[in-house]
Amino acid sequence: MSTVDMTHGGGGRAMADLIRDVFHKHLGNPILDRGDDGGRVTVPGQRLVMSTDGHVIAPLFFPGGDIGSLSVHGTINDLAMMGAKPLYLTAAFILEEGFPLADLERVVWSMANAARDADVQVISGDTKVVERGKGDGVFITTTGIGVVADGVDLSAHNVRPGHSVLVSGTMGDHGVAVLSKRENLSFETEIVSDSAPLHGLVSDMLAAVPDITTLRDPTRGGLAATLNEIATTAGVGITLDEAQIPVAPDVAAACELLGLDPLNTANEGKLIAICPREDAQTLLDTMLEHPLGRNAAIIGETIADPAHLVQMKTAFGGTRIVDWLAGEQLPRIC
């Protein structure tokens, strides 16, 4: 393949290959090569984490959020997955000529509210305008910086066989909410995106179980892609129990109707946590007490497996491989 196509943005195998073969090939360094959600650096007196995230979602406004709030939550959550307390954000806007100023103000207002609610400040920014037809309204890139406490070291490199795998809630809400708005689909109840900042939940989790080995938010590519990424990085296998993976009934019904798999569908306010098996129940109890973890569950465990496969015991008693998609189930989802 000699050109970029939409599969390269989907969070699946094509995207992983692109990152490895182009970006890591030329930009690789010990911090970037860890493959975490953010880069952790040490300066005198502080351990800092930085992360950046581009947002190209279509449509710009969807049930439960919009590109403004999403651009705040997405970067905050990348910092949170490193165990960091988010402090500051910068924002870069690429605007298309002809984009309504009323919609732009609505997006910025939403961004401001999301930042205020998360107790972070947007301290710098940039704006560029491209010709009509070349920008699809607005694209936003946010960069965040946060501080991480001594002793916190969250990375897939820390995962070992015999650890438990947990999720903080139902899978696929965001992807189905965006698709329903994009395609003007109506269901009996409106499906709402789960977009939310996760740093408060993470703070409670680390206070209860300091030995959490890794956290990840299953955004593009969903649970399947993220677990495959962890398994590959950690050099382990992962076994899942389908009956324990939470999926909201309306999301499950919509996915069945549309031919989608909730495990491949994006989330924007959920996380995956991996910890030693003996700490799993304590961690689960802590997650269940938080509003953003009220549907948390233990869904599987890590095992020794030289093939680094993610496998799932199905509701019918069989076993299937949970692979990441070669391309993209839903484009422009975040």
Residue 305 CB contacts under 8 Å (≥ 6 apart), including other chains = 231, 236, 237
Q: Which CATH architecture has domain 6-148?
A: 2-Layer Sandwich (3.30)
Tens-place pLDDT, residues 1-55 = 578 776 776 667 887 888 888 878 888 888 888 888 677 777 777 899 999 999 9
CB 222 within 8 A of CB 262: yes
What pLDDT is stored for residue 37 in this prediction? Answer: 67
Tens-place pLDDT, residues 262-279 = 999 999 999 999 999 999
CB 171 within 8 A of CB 246: yes
Q: 103: helix, coil or strand?
A: helix
Question: Does the fold of domain 156-321 match that of domain 6-148?
Answer: no
Mean pLDDT of 111-140: 93
Tens-place pLDDT, residues 41-93 = 777 778 999 999 999 999 999 999 999 999 999 999 999 999 999 999 999 99
Give this prediction's pTM: 0.88
Domain-by-domain residue ranges, the chain? 6-148, 156-321
What pLDDT is stored for residue 165 in this prediction? Answer: 98
Tens-place pLDDT, residues 297-324 = 999 999 999 999 999 999 888 999 999 8
- Report d(CA 267, CA 175) in Å as an integer: 6
Among 78, 106, 114, 307, residue whose Cα is nearest residue 202: 78
What pLDDT is stored for residue 238 in this prediction? Answer: 98
Tens-place pLDDT, residues 179-209 = 988 888 777 678 999 999 999 999 999 999 9
Q: Is the pLDDT of residue 98 over 70?
A: yes
What is 156-321's CATH number?
A: 3.90.650.10
What pLDDT is stored for residue 108 in this prediction? Answer: 94
